[in-house]
Structures are given as C-alpha cells and as structure tokens.
Amino acid sequence: MTSPSQFTWDDLQFFLAVARTGQLSSAARQLRTSHATVSRRIDRLEFSMKVKLFERNARGYVLTHMGQRFVETAERIEGETERLQADISNGATTQRGVVRLSAPEGFSNFFVTERLHTFVEHHPAISLELVTIQQIMSLSRKEADVAVALDPPKAGPYFSEKISDYSLHVYGAASYLAGSPPVATRDDLLDHPFVGYIEDMIFAPGLDYLGDVHRGIKATFQSSSIFAQLTATRNGLGLCVLPNFIAGRYPELRIVLPKVIELRRSYWLVCHRDMRDVPRIRAVMSYIRNDVRASSDMFIRRG
C-alpha cells in the first residue's frame, strides 16, 4: 500500500489529465474512470506532496504556479515512460492515449477530417481531439498538445516547422459576377460588397486579407467562420478572399483578377519541445506533416 508521503505514476497520469482538460469529468472520460476517483487521486497527490496543485472554482480546475511547474516534470516522466515502453515492446503498443490538436477551421474541415480514416487505421489506440475554435490555443497551458498555426511562436519552449504554403484569391459566385459591374483592376473591387472576418476578432495576423487586396476595402458582411463566409459568397452576397484548397471545390465560384491578385500564407506545425518525442504526439505530427506535403498541389494553385 502506498504511504501518504509517496505518489505513483498513476497519480501523475491523473494529474496530467486534469491539467490538460481543466475538468474532472473530462479527465474521468479520458482515463475511463469516475469523477469521484479522479478527485480522490488529485487530493491524494496534493496531500502526499504537501502542495496545492490546483485552484478549484465553478469553471473547473486551474493550475497554481506550483502546479504549472509540476506539469513540466510530470510530462518529462510521461515521455520517458512511453519511450521505455517503446523499447520494451519495440513500439507495438505505445502509440496510445489522447492527443488534442488545435487547427484553423478551414484546414480542419477541408483537410484533416477528410483523411482521418487513414490515421485511425494506422493508430487505432490514439484518440484524437480536434479543436477548431477561433482563437490561439495555449500549448504552454496544455489547452492543446499539437497545433497547426498560421504564424509560428515568436518565443517560448516550442518546436515549430513550416509544413506548407497555400494560396488565396478573390472569389465570387458566377451568378453574382454576371449581374455586377465588371472587375478589370484592383480599384474596380471598391464597387463590390465584400465578405470577410470580423476585424476585432481576427486571432492571427495571417487572416487579415482585405488590406493586402486593397486598402480601401471594408467587408459589408463579417463572420468569424470561414464556413459562413464561404456560404455567403456561394449565395451571391459579394466577393471574398478564400483559400484555393477550399474554394476550388465549388464550380460556381470564379476567381476575380487571377493574374493580378494572389495571396500566400503558410501553415506551421507546433508543439511544446518537451512533448515532441512522446510517441502519440510524434505519430500525429508525422501524419499531418506527411499528408500535407503529399498534397502540395491542393494547397498551391498552379497556373
């Protein structure tokens, strides 16, 4: 029986699950146990360490300063444990567990989810959580394990690599363009309504398109969702800057000024340095990296 002054690796697993989810119920689902068991194990860990790791409030469990420091230690132990298991079993059973992936809405829905069946076939023991909310998920606070980002972190303990550029153009529905003033120059765009992002909700500089097209353009319909922008454009509400790998699927959409306006943006793959060699994290990153690079023609419009 474990004495009050000791804790086990199981206790650290419970701690990491709560630290990453912020909720006892979510941690319990992940660990396939009960809400009460998770609470009891966290209490035991804090008692054995004689330190408070979480602040409890109505919204869930929030790491204390000491808890945040302990996350780094626990994740190093987790990584070493999984690497040891990999050595023992030759990698056959180690790629398991939950990985939370944060990615932009368009990339998630028009690329990742369409290819998930291949990932699941190769890694049936990994449970993938895909987060597409319109904000930057914090890798340092463990809100995500891996992120696909439009801009790499400028500082911090992160590993990042560019996985692809992608091209964007101004699009309009054929029915809209047929009944609207012709567009022969950039200045002609000012005669048309535009669809775009809500300016004060743009969470990444890479999504601020309209100023790169023409400084005088202001969107008349704004949405934080690329799906809503796409739907509005397909229904003739106006012109919109859209990634080619999304808009190119819809034959009713036409590129406006294709030889004059082309924007380029990039996707970056990011994770915390301490998590990079954890087998399940490495598996997800390799899947994204390899699939994106094998689909380069999809992301960059040729000709």
Q: Are both 148 and 276 inside the same structural domain?
A: yes
**8-state DSSP, 249:** T
The pTM is what?
Answer: 0.70
Domain finish residue from 87, 118, 133: 87
CATH at 235? 3.40.190.10
CA distances from 183 to 1, 89, 199, 271 (A): 78, 63, 25, 43
Residue 1: inside a domain: no
Residue 255: inside a domain: yes
- Whole-number pLDDT of residue 245: 95
- Whole-number pLDDT of residue 257: 97
What φ, ψ does residue 299 adopt, rounded to 5°?
A: -90, -30
CATH at 25? 1.10.10.10
Mean pLDDT by 10 residues, the chain (303 residues): 57 87 85 88 89 89 90 80 60 68 93 91 90 62 81 85 96 97 96 94 83 94 95 98 96 96 95 85 93 89 71
What is the Cα Rg of the chain in Å? 23
Q: In the chain, how many domains are there?
A: 3
Print the domain residue range for 112. 95-163+266-299
Residue 183: inside a domain: yes
Q: Are both 105 and 141 inside the same structural domain?
A: yes
Q: How many CB atoms lie within 10 A of CB 204?
A: 15
Residues near 273 by beta carbon (within 8 Å), at least 6 away in sequence: 157, 158, 159
Residue 3: inside a domain: no
Q: Are both 61 and 117 inside the same structural domain?
A: no
